Structure 1
Amino acid sequence: MFGNAVLRRFGLWANDCRRSSSSEFPAPRDKKGAVPAAAKWNAATPYEILATLGEGTFGKVVKVRDRERGVTIALKIIKNVAKYREAAKLEINVLETLAKRDPDGKHLCVRMLDWFDYHGHICISFEMLGLSVFDFLKDNQYHPYPMEQVRLISYQLIFSVKFLHDNQLTHTDLKPENILFLDSSADVEYNMKKKRLNFEINETTTDRLWIGDLRSRTSFHYRVHAALQGTRELGWSQPCDVWSIACIMFELYLGFTLFQTHHNREHLAMMERILGPIPYRMAKRTKTKYFHHGKLEWDDRSSGARYVRENCKPLRKYQLSDDEDTNLLFDLISQMLVYEPSQRLSLDQALKHPFFDKIPAESR
């Protein structure tokens, strides 16, 4: 089994954190808050940068060797920019709070090992984890995960994000890139061909979910369209995480993205093609340029319309078989992709869906 799907960046273990003073290390000479170059960093700190794991607008995540402890860890280095510093401080507070509420780590949250302020650069260290769910998929030429892995990863992802929801938190950036396996060593059979990849396939492997913008691939595909987030009732709340998880489950099963577009109007057209018309009441209340009198403004003769017709179809038509597992999976996905947030399945309800009945008690 691929193990348990879980949280990274809202993961913890802040109990053992050090809070080093920036005065311990010489000041970097960076510009506009940029992260210091590896050579300067290696010379000025006890951490040796070995590789870049990901970059984003906030800064970067690097693989480092802690020369004092002799261990390899992941270090998130935030740009010395006020808004990113404040966001990092909030992240640390969340990590510490969740660590206190889950001291045994049963909710599969990532371990924050340490944090410190390096001359304005907030740095947070985490345990080193393996490939992401997306990278594993990509390395297998986008062959979808086996059904049992779809089931287990989905269950553990829902279980972990539910822990956030139970603590009045909303993720808002769930995507396959943010779900990481605990380590890397696997022997997986795809289409009767064995492919050696770095993943341990067993019942005890725990995955982690990383919350953060680490790659160029946008999370646009996994979000409820912004036009449907226009009011307080429709805004960024816990049901938006439910939608994102459903999109991830679809991708695990089929190997490709449900809403493959970067264009707002086209995104809405895809939603209507796959899920049916957006309810009149919601469309009327969006107050955006995409709707007129409660109906999506969309030219059926355009090249975009042709693309949507040729590449999208009603949700149930994506099923590769009509067996019980597939029917249950798509029943669950459809209930998590209901337009009305108040009618969308909650994560507590999702965990009780019959699709997960085959997961043994020891894997829950």
Structure 2
Amino acid sequence: MEEWDIWKTNFGSKKPSSALSSSEASSCLEDDETKPESYEVLKSDILHSRTTRYLIRDIIGEGSFGKVTKAVNLNTSQEVALKILKTEDTADREIKMLDVVSILDPVKNSVVQFFERFDHKGQTCLVFEKLDRSLFDLFVEREGRPLSLNEIRPVAHQLLTAFDALKGIGVVHSDLKPDNVMLVNHSSTPFKVKLIDFGVAFKTTEKTQGMTIQAVPYRAPEVILGLPITEAIDMWSLGCLLGSLYCGQDLFADCEYQLMKGIVEMLGQPADHLLDDGHYTQIFFRENEHWDEPRWWMKTPLEYQRQTGIEPETWQSPLRCLDDLIIHRPEMEEAELEDQRAFVSLLKCLLRTDHNNRITPGKALKHPFVEMDHLWKELDTSS
């Protein structure tokens, strides 16, 4: 299947925002209206930093933010990923966050290693370690075939480790999606991954309430409703990502109305006190005029369209509830069933609609699904 065919089959008729670079959304955090013409970097060009020269081998990806190339350091013969940004505002924000994140050990904490920045004919260039391919690319190669729980577990552990480290330095990544999780070297170390793209990351001390961040299918309820934003939004996105890896498609729609509707139907309506405080609550909900509880009702698609002028896209959720992921089969071993239960338990902890009650990365690292306590007990029982 072609990449676009797989997207249509698993993610709907239009290419989701989860397939876009986070730098394309950086205008949420920085005013980036002007994009001046700049020098076009081509294959076989040689770019000079203060200390070395980089030969451009290939163009990996391109967007409104600029382009990502595969290059080689001519001093060391090391392959690198070289990101060329078109605008200074985009570059300044990403460099600021990379400087903060650079205090972390990139190996122990599963984050991409940043080498240096330099300017080339008016463009900012960022040099990173060269990684293999993204989870999105892997999904395309597998023609949409979901991952097993044994394949998902190491991905979950490494991303939780990364987010625990980021939480420790007060950084919110805010753009977790399959494109931003890279396999390091899948042939030699299967499912060893690193978190990339800090283009829209921010410090927890920054004022971000009301900002439109995160790809829509991975967007936390507090972001949609305009509530205060914390590092808990990354845990929500992780729950969405892990669920999509297991289902073979996104849990939620790439349409804000259908996203909120899906959250309400699958996980339950956010509590009244959250809806009371949300700046954008009335876009999706109307006040209940007939009785006290609940104080809010989800608007119908027609009510939403009348207010916003936006017709909601059609969307068929892969699940009615998270417990649908627990499948009983006559031939199933007890250990496999317990593993499914543990995985669903973790998803429920990650996808709590109240961010104050959502599990932290540190606690999630001790969850039975990650630590495999239930499997060890089953092994002891059977031996």
TM-score category (smaller protein) = 0.7 to 0.9
- Are the counterparts in 2 of residues 273 and 308 from structure 1 also a CA contact under 8 Å? no
Amino acid at match of 1:222: Y
Q: Secondary structure in 1 aligned to 2:341?
A: helix
TM-superposition CA deviations, 1:294-350 (whole Å, max 9, x none): 222124999999955675412211334480000110011011111111111111111
Aligned to 1:112: 114
- 1:163 & 1:227 partners in 2: Cα distance? 22
- 1:209 & 1:155 partners in 2: Cα distance? 12
Cα separation, partners in 2 of 1:336 and 1:92, compared to 1, 3 Å: closer
Q: Which runs of 5+ in 2 are unaligned?
A: 1-34, 201-213, 288-295, 306-310, 330-336, 377-383
Pairwise CA distance, 1:59 = 1.5
- Are the counterparts in 2 of residues 111 and 127 from structure 1 also a CA contact under 8 Å? yes
Cα separation, partners in 2 of 1:85 and 1:201, compared to 1, 3 Å: closer
- Are the counterparts in 1 of residues 98 and 198 from structure 2 also a CA contact under 8 Å? no
Pairwise CA distance, 1:134 = 1.9
Aligned to 2:13: none
- 2:60 & 2:286 partners in 1: Cα distance? 45
Query: Percent of aligned pairs with the same residue?
Result: 24
Cα separation, partners in 2 of 1:319 and 1:135, compared to 1, 3 Å: farther
* Aligned residue among 36, 53, 59 for 1:52: 59
Q: Does 1:68 align with 2:75?
A: yes
Q: Which runs of 5+ in 1 are unaligned?
A: 1-30, 186-199
Q: Show the 5 A alignment for 1:26-175.
A: 32-34=36-38, 36-38=40-42, 42=45, 45=48, 46-79=53-86, 81-96=87-102, 98-99=103-104, 102=105, 105-175=107-177
TM-superposition CA deviations, 1:55-76 (whole Å, max 9, x none): 2332111101223332321101
Amino acid at match of 1:291: F
Aligned to 1:256: 249
- Are the counterparts in 2 of residues 225 and 267 from structure 1 also a CA contact under 8 Å? no
Alignment length, in residue pairs?
303
Q: Show the 5 A alignment for 1:262-281.
A: 262-281=254-273
Q: Does 1:297 align with 2:289?
A: no
- 1:287 & 1:35 partners in 2: Cα distance? 42
- Are the counterparts in 2 of residues 50 and 64 from structure 1 also a CA contact under 8 Å? yes
- 1:71 & 1:305 partners in 2: Cα distance? 48
Amino acid at match of 1:42: D
Cα separation, partners in 2 of 1:35 and 1:138, compared to 1, 3 Å: farther
Q: Does 1:345 align with 2:359?
A: yes
Please provide the CA RMSD for this pair.
3.1
Cα separation, partners in 2 of 1:170 and 1:330, compared to 1, 3 Å: same
- 2:100 & 2:321 partners in 1: Cα distance? 39
TM-superposition CA deviations, 1:219-253 (whole Å, max 9, x none): 221111466451xxx33311101100111111122
- 1:305 & 1:115 partners in 2: Cα distance? 42
Cα separation, partners in 2 of 1:88 and 1:152, compared to 1, 3 Å: closer
* Aligned residue among 279, 302, 316 for 1:287: 279
- 2:198 & 2:223 partners in 1: Cα distance? 23
TM-superposition CA deviations, 1:13-65 (whole Å, max 9, x none): xxxxxxxxxxxxxxxxxx814452316x8156432222222223321111012
Q: Secondary structure in 1 aligned to 2:249?
A: coil
| TM norm structure 2 | 0.71
Q: Secondary structure in 1 aligned to 2:228?
A: coil
Q: Secondary structure in 2 aligned to 1:64?
A: strand
Aligned to 2:232: 239
Pairwise CA distance, 1:139 = 0.5
Aligned to 1:223: 219
- 1:324 & 1:126 partners in 2: Cα distance? 40
- 2:55 & 2:242 partners in 1: Cα distance? 37
- 1:95 & 1:120 partners in 2: Cα distance? 25
Cα separation, partners in 2 of 1:313 and 1:34, compared to 1, 3 Å: farther
- 2:124 & 2:367 partners in 1: Cα distance? 41
- Are the counterparts in 1 of residues 46 and 56 from structure 2 also a CA contact under 8 Å? no
TM-superposition CA deviations, 1:76-98 (whole Å, max 9, x none): 1111x2311321331342243x2
Cα separation, partners in 2 of 1:145 and 1:338, compared to 1, 3 Å: same
* Aligned residue among 200, 203, 211 for 2:197: 211
Which structure has more RCO (C-alpha within 8 Å, separation ≥ 6)?
1
Pairwise CA distance, 1:121 = 1.8
| TM norm structure 1 | 0.74
- Are the counterparts in 2 of residues 56 and 213 from structure 1 also a CA contact under 8 Å? no
Q: Secondary structure in 2 aligned to 1:327?
A: helix
